[in-house]
Amino acid sequence: MKKAWSGIILGVVMVAIVTVSARADVTIGISLPPPIVFAAPPDVIVIPDTSDVYVIPTIAADVFFWNGWWWRLWQNNWYYSQYYDRDWVYYNNIPRFYFEVDPNWRTYYRRHYWCGYRWDYEHIPFTRFERHWRDWHEHRYWEQQRRWGIPHYRPIPERQLHEMRQQRQEQYERKFNVQQRYNQPHPPQPMQHVQQPRPEQQLPQQHVQQPRPEQQLPQQHVQQPRPEQQLPQQPRP
């Protein structure tokens, strides 16, 4: 029995070592971007014709917010973080939101024009953005209510948007020298983080609203008594 347990433990340790080694191999030779120093939390703007892609427009670095994470393009590599200024983690792909971003967005930003329309973009304070971005995304606030801050703007047809995304994908593939990586599944962490806030924020509420199965069983037992308890109550023929 001891030998069996020793074999199991040894196998688990070997799997852990292989996993750590594999992760280390991915990041060998890849530098992490330096922190960005802000005097105060930055304002953001939302980029039109995207799935709620935000950007910090007042800095030279390309720092976006999408799907609950901050994303940074640095030296032709992508990184993500829970913070806008530090703790960047290498991302072995190009995030799909980037195919939606017009490469001329900075020029449009400086000129206050978007595709021939006046662009009255809004500098969103960080505290307001942090408080409301989930609700804005769920209710499509910028697209339907604010029209991206573009009066009389006619959204680009979906078919044309799809073609533009494909063209940008091919362009960025050549630019970043990416080889057959777009069909690979994205890491689950960024996607889950957006739709589901951090566990420490959810567990207390879920525990109250949805009690554990072992707490529900006694209630079901009372509501449905056993058949032998009901038979004596039935009248005899």
Q: Where are the domains of the chain?
A: 45-198
* DSSP bridge partners of 79: 72, 90
Residue-wise pLDDT tens digits, 56-105? 999 999 999 999 999 999 998 999 999 999 999 999 999 999 999 999 99
Q: What is the mean pLDDT of the chain?
A: 74
Cβ neighbours of 15 (radius 10 Å): 10
* Lowest model confidence (mean pLDDT) among 161-170, 175-184, 217-226: 217-226
CA distance linking residue 115 with residue 150, whole number of Å = 10
- The mean pLDDT of 222-236, rounded to a whole number, is 45
Q: In the prediction, which pLDDT does 28 show?
A: 61
